[in-house]
Chains A and B, each alone.
Chain A
């Protein structure tokens, strides 16, 4: 995978298959500390100690169709390439938390990529799941909570094409503005 937002989508899809009803995605870009932190937390079925112990093994999977599980090992490799780390915490019934850190300006760090498309795809394919997406770039902050959207939408499903387009555009615009401001510096 050539961008981190694809890895994030992969972890999200794992969460939905673990029966998660709420998935929280937090991204923090701290330029002063040269850190990029990504956390994906879910309330799914979680994993036992044996499964968790083998999660970095690409030849371990709980699936029966395809006997390799590359998602987390690929993410961990991307983190290591940028002097970062990847950790997974989980317990049966207690959900799972994946945290990844990168050196923000490392030459081998994969670009974050299109988070707007990743979130729109995750919501479109899993309308029964709620998502909280928080993205911080230094002092700037963006937050999208689908539980708040549902209150406005009433009986209109989250994955209606118009709603998905709205979400995708909102994220893209907000992130572009945040990046622009973080580059130019905000006036006091």
Chain B
């Protein structure tokens, strides 16, 4: 590989392993960023980038991120679904970088659903 610095990567590995050793329990939250053509065109990639930066800054390791396709409500994109273990999934609409930061800090970290941005509750239909 032309650029990757293996020593830096090894340091990251050691840091993440140390963080995981301190963590109790499994994944607490799953965030799905809807990444259909409509979502990508509306800004889903920027939402994902913001989410990953927030996770890194907060140094949490119990949030898992995934992507899925279009759920059929293209005009409401970008959409994300936040699933906290033991709670009903929440689908957020018209998410942008600022809303993503707010959802991460208030809902994902503190459990407070950001009602003004909510599109629906419950699992998406495939």
Contacts and interface: CB of A to CB of B under 8 A. Distances in A.
Nearest to B70: A66
B22 interface: no
B59 to A, nearest CB: 8
B123 to A, nearest CB: 13
Interface stretch (A28-36, A46-54, A91-99, A156-164): A156-164
Given A17-B69, A173-B3, A156 B13 contact: yes
A19 interface: no
Contact of B45 (A9, A144, A174): A9
A118 B4 CA distance: 17
Interface residues of A, number: 47
A138 interface: no
Interface residues of B, number: 42
Interface stretch (B34-42, B83-91, B112-120): B34-42
Contacts of A168: 49
A66 B3 contact: no
A143 B1 contact: yes
Given A121-B48, A145-B1, A166-B8, A159 B65 contact: yes
B116 to A, nearest CB: 26
A166 B1 contact: no
Interface string B56-86: 1000010011110111101000000000000
A152 B52 contact: no
Nearest to A12: B35
A164 B52 contact: yes
Contact of B56 (A71, A153, A161): A161
A125 B33 contact: yes
A124 B38 CA distance: 19
Interface in B1-39: 1-6, 8-10, 12-13, 15-17, 20, 33, 35-38
- Chain B CB within 10 Å, residue with most, of A114, A126, A141, A166: A166
A142 B13 contact: no
Given A117-B45, A161-B56, 7 more contacts: A9-B45, A65-B72, A66-B70, A70-B38, A142-B2, A152-B9, A156-B16
Interface of B: 1-6, 8-10, 12-13, 15-17, 20, 33, 35-38, 40-41, 45-46, 48-49, 52-53, 55-56, 61, 64-67, 69-72, 74, 125-126
Interface of A: 1, 6, 9-10, 13, 16-17, 63, 65-66, 69-71, 74, 114, 117-118, 120-121, 124-126, 141-145, 148-149, 152-156, 159-166, 168, 170-171, 173-174
